[in-house]
Amino acid sequence: MNLPNALTLSRFVMAGIMIALLFSPFAFSATGALLVFGIAALTDWLDGRLARGSYGVTALGQLLDPLADKVLVCAALVSFVEIRLPGARHPLIPAWIVVLILAREFMVTGLRVLAVRGGRDISAGRWGKQKTIWQLVAIIAMLLGLAIQRDLLPYFAPGWVEPFDLWFAPAAYIMALAVAAITVVSGLVYFHQHRDLLRG
């Protein structure tokens, strides 16, 4: 196994570590989850760069890379469904938004399986890459918010905890809606571009 594939596999491990930290009772665990997710996102960029460079692209890497990305993103999104800020009417991300995003990912994966059986490679297009970027941005923003809410304000500005919660909850909901919209649109574009596979 080469270095890019090892970096890809590390994202599966880091997804589990991130979940454990998010629900850990220890101090600064939310900050740790943010750092782990940031490192995992960095490996996504690094393994692709290395694979396209001196190491070369492998069939294993082409299989594992998108799968590792989906596991990392879905682990964060599902975790957010279990997190509810004090006084908030809904979780950090409502379950229906996560289900919508997961449904899109499963459907696109199924389409790729059809393409492979037909001897075609249908990699992510511009909309798919934008979807991934904005998913990562939104997750990092929410993890940063949790780190501020749990690890920073209670120790350095306890009077700001409640006002921050009142702002953070609706901001997270708006970000989740925006990401869901981009995810759905990218899926529709993807299926439209490869609709011949469905007819086949």
pLDDT in tens, 82-111: 998 887 778 999 999 999 999 998 888 887
Q: What is the pLDDT of residue 92?
A: 92
From CA 164, how far away is CA 72, in angstroms rounded? 27
Q: Give me the number of domains the chain comprises.
A: 1
Handedness of CA 171, 85, 82, 64 (dihedral sign): positive
- Write out the two tokens for 71: 């596991």
pLDDT of residue 142: 96
Query: For 179-194, how does the pLDDT look when each residue is reduced to its tens digit (9 = 90+)?
Result: 999 999 998 988 888 7
Task: Write the CATH number for 103.
Answer: 1.20.120
pLDDT band at 130 (very low <50, low <70, confident <90, very high): confident
Share in percent of the chain as helix, strand, coil (round to 5): 80, 0, 20
10 Å CB burial of residue 33 (0-12, 13-18, 19+) is buried
The pLDDT of residue 168 is above 90: yes
Q: Which of 79-83, 88-92, 133-137 has the lowest mean pLDDT?
A: 88-92
Nearest to 57 by CA among 67, 66, 47: 47
For residue 136, what are the domain limits? 3-199
- Residue 124, pLDDT score: 65
What band does 21 get if pLDDT is binned at 50, 70 and 90? very high
Please give the Cα distance from 118 to 121 (Å, whole number).
Answer: 9
